[in-house]
Structure 1
Amino acid sequence: MFNSEEDARLVQEILEGSVESFEAIVNRYEMTILKFIYSMIKDKEASEDITQEVFITVYNKLDTFDNRYKFSNWILRIAKNKCIDYIRKYKKIENVNIEEVKPITSKEISPEQNLEYKETKKEIEKYINKLEHVDKQIISHRYLQKLTFNDISKILEMSESAVKRRYYKVKEKFKEYIAISEKG
């Protein structure tokens, strides 16, 4: 997703006082962080505020970043923690909006396809909203940010095998869920 070598160079330049390099980091990650935060809390203004807080934290804590790891994982972990703080503070319960997971992009969809899409979307949305918080995060990272299992494991501070297990279990249970809903 992001170039780790380029990130490492920018981080080093920021630590040496380069404002332009920090602006480059912000430009590079701002939309990813904003989308990630919005996927968790579903509030546009709060997402923008939290995104700003993430970059303030990044700037203030950059000297603690361990360059043996990916910068993208580090910044997403900060974003995740800021979201958790926000959710705890305001007791917000997030719901995954399937519209953001897989939007329709083609304008040449037949009415039948559109109806089928909407029905499928409702089923997926119902299923995702029943998932545990961690499973929602795994699905969000995998589909919205298109992250690897390794990256997700670092962000969620879980083993890669635990992330994979949960991901495949969610997928398998979804197949069962769909099969049951098609019968009923």
Structure 2
Amino acid sequence: MNLPDGNGGIFKPNRMWAAIVDRQGHLCSVIVTGDAWPGSRAIAIAKAYTANGFSNDALALSTANLYAATQPGGSLYGLNNSNPFDARFLEQGSGIGHTLGGVITFGGGVALYAGGKVIGGLGVSGDSACADHAIAYRMRKLAGLGSVPAGQGPNNTDNIVYSTSGSPMGFEHPHCFPSDLSAAKIEQIPSH
């Protein structure tokens, strides 16, 4: 998704991996654009799995929303170790139809909604966690799969909540770079 604002990231145009899992966590699709970091493939898959696995029909939690609670001393500390990624499927082109697992708790994963129900997850990786979140959030919106029931972000969404202090708390995520897009900017999709 190459937009004039660059999604607030490092790369313009974006170099990304995107993955989709169904509600059962089975990998449905993985795509890559440009010269994306090879290691980001597994991260995109795990972000999709995480957003799907920790959202339900009553509450959407993006992977960005899980950041603070999973840090040392947080109420979900250790969550990242709960569902390990199946490394047998690290090779590009593998894993479709399988549940690969993995838990990533920084920006870039969002649940997918249709008819008020979670139908899966979308994970994006290849830039800063903040840019990854902006891209995933915008992709979901463009696909018409973003009607979340409720969330912990601005306006009852699962959008990113940036920490205003040194240590993120609650459902906050740290800023990545000065170029990070605000939650309000993420909601807007500029024309090409």
Q: TM-score when scaled to structure 1?
A: 0.30
- Indicate the structure (1 or 2) with the bigger Cα radius of gyration: 1
- Greater RCO structure (CA 8 Å; 6+ sep): 2
Q: TM-score when scaled to structure 2?
A: 0.29
Specify which structure has the higher proportion of strand.
2
